[in-house]
Amino acid sequence: MITLGSLFLLLLQKQPPPMSTLIAPSILAADFANLQRDIEMVNRSDADWFHIDIMDGVFVPNISYGMPVLKAISKHANKTIDVHLMIIDPDRYIKTFAELGSNILTVHYEACTHLHRTLQAVKDEGMQAGVALNPHTNINVLEDIINDIDVVCLMSVNPGFGGQSFIDNTFVKIKQLKELIVRKGAPTKIEVDGGVTDNNALQLVQAGADILVAGSFIFKSSNQLQTIKELKNITR
């Protein structure tokens, strides 16, 4: 008799071998007065992606930067640009963010009335489509759409500000999301955003994370290149 547990293990065994964990420095934590310098540092580093947070002051209680700054970042960046929209009505700007050089565009589940339509619009512009979940949002809301999502960004802090403490329940959500992905045979990658340090990076990867977004931990370190290298080595 096949139990649910044995079926899950069987599906897990059929998954392709895990890729190397991707490290995505969050540019929100960079020195805005020396932004080109910090972009070039990430270019030289072992990091894989640039993580760009766009905030409107409505969906989250903070305003970050907008299109002109993203255009400037794209001009100097030579790695994948992962744009995370923390804004209401993201559909209005999908085409614009594609034109500005975004490779991955992530919208919040909580900000989208018609999520499937939004994801299709993102893909139609040639970008990978991501969905972010706030800490209080249950993984189950993705049950019927997981196969259409390239990246799920799990917020491990409340969105809006950098430098917050990691929410431990994130480990539970990663495992639940991984189980959903395996059960549905989806190609989706799991990204964790907020409070990532060398103290929890390995545990996050062991739980099932594929991409780690780190901001303050990288940019406030005395040796940013070495900090990125160590994060990469910890999670190999």
Q: Which residues are catalytic?
A: 53, 193
Q: How far is CA 4 from the centre of its chain?
A: 30
Q: With DSSP H G I counted as helix, E B as strand and the rest as coil, what are the percentages for the chain, rounded to 5?
A: 45, 20, 35
Q: Report the C-alpha gap between 134 and 153 in whole angstroms.
A: 9
Strand 49-55 and strand 189-193: the pairing is unpaired
Give, as one character, the DSSP assignment of residue 134. -
Q: Please give the torsion angle defined by the CA atoms of residues 228, 103, 208 and 222, in that order, rounded to the nearest 10 degrees.
A: 10
